[in-house]
Amino acid sequence: MTDNKTEHTDKDIAEELKGVPEDMLDSDSEAEGNAELPADVKKELESLREELEATKQEVLYAKADTQNVRRRMEKDVADARSYAATGFARDILSVADNLIRAIDAVPAELREDEKFKGLVAGIEATQRELDKVFSQNGISRIAAKGLPLDPNQHQAMMEIPTDEVEPGTVVQEMQAGYMIRDRLLRPAMVGVAKKPD
């Protein structure tokens, strides 16, 4: 089946061949028909066919390039939407770290003291709100303690000799790690179990 371009080109060739006697064009096969055509007409016909094939290839390549550019742009736009907050999120992680440190640093007796109860409750509420905002923006904390070391998410800072767990298991988390959707925002800094000497 030929496309419109081919039909149009064949019509153009037919127009050019109007002056050629019909008995020269009347043939069972194209090859035989071409053999009876004058040399200059055959040459022109072959040239037009080659030009048509080259044009078809150029159109196909142009379509493929356009489609690839469109797909790339769609992916870039989707990534920009999904990961636009990455820089800000990375910067705000230190605030989350400091809130956790502040909560952990409050001694149990101060938590019960009426003077400090409101302060501690305020810090804890701030930390919960920050966790909620992280969750709404696709930021999640990486699980670490008790899991096997995952070099894609954990950064081993030291080895801790122990018989209590399998070697290569995370036994201590020095700094929490975070993901933004499926990308690593910051690895968890951990201590990993090793066999005692």
d(CA 86, CA 92) in angstroms, rounded, equals 10
Specify the pLDDT at position 58: 94
- Of 173, 134, 138, nearest to 156 by C-alpha is 173
d(CA 132, CA 186) in angstroms, rounded, equals 18
pTM: 0.61
Q: Which residue has the higher pLDDT, 158 or 116?
A: 158
Specify the pLDDT at position 29: 44
Specify the pLDDT at position 28: 46
Helices (H) and strands (E) in the chain, counts: 7, 6
Q: Are 159 and 151 in contact (CB under 8 A)?
A: no
How many angstroms separate the first and last alpha carbons of the chain? 78
Specify the pLDDT at position 139: 93
Specify the pLDDT at position 169: 95
Specify the pLDDT at position 11: 61
Specify the pLDDT at position 6: 46
Residue 160 has pLDDT above 80, yes or no: yes
Q: What is the pLDDT of residues 6-64, one digit of tens each?
A: 445 566 666 665 665 555 555 444 544 455 778 888 888 999 999 999 999 999 999 99
Specify the pLDDT at position 34: 52
Q: What is the pLDDT of residues 103-156, one digit of tens each?
A: 889 888 888 888 888 888 899 999 999 999 999 989 999 999 999 999 999 999
Tell me phi and psi for residue 175, to 5 degrees: -145, 130
d(CA 193, CA 163) in angstroms, rounded, equals 8
Q: What is the pLDDT of residues 66-110, one digit of tens each?
A: 999 999 999 999 888 888 888 889 999 999 999 999 988 988 888
57 sits in the region (left: phi over 0; alpha: psi -120 to 50; else beta) called alpha
